[in-house]
Amino acid sequence: MTRELDRLRQNFLRLIEEEQQKPPAVRQPSGFGFRYSYTEITAQGGTAHVRRKETRYEDGKLVTEECEGDVDRTHYEQAVRQSQQMVVEQMQQMMRLFFDPFGIGRGGK
């Protein structure tokens, strides 16, 4: 029994020494990455054609995904209305900063 324990201990110590002698694994810097996406929508007749491409670099890998398809034109029109509404709201907020910086017109002090 003690011989087996001695062998086990020696093997364990040898493994520890081997692991300590190995150089540390090279790791990619985790702070670098990017993402680029492109969406194209064209509307003709009763349908809208959507084409999307996304490229990203994460964890040392460059990945590209592409897809395209057709959707009902009502979805296209809804997306256009929503994006126009967002632009109008952002412009209103920006104009308030320029013309009413202290919030006087909104009841501010």
**Burial state string for 18-49 with b = 16 or more CB within 10 A and e = fewer than 16:** eeeeeeeeeeeeeeeeeeeeeeeeeeeeeebe
Q: Locate the domains of the chain by residue range.
A: 32-99
What pLDDT sits at residue 29? 58
What pLDDT sits at residue 58? 82
Phi, psi of 27 (to 5 degrees): -120, 145
Residue 15 CA neighbour count, 13 Å, CB half: 6
What pLDDT sits at residue 17? 79
What pLDDT sits at residue 52? 94
pLDDT along the chain (109 residues), means of 10: 75 76 64 88 90 89 92 90 96 88 65
What pLDDT sits at residue 107? 60
What pLDDT sits at residue 28? 56
Q: Find tokens 């002698």 and name the residue.
A: 21
What pLDDT sits at residue 100? 81
What pLDDT sits at residue 90? 95
**Total residue count of the chain as it appears in this document:** 109
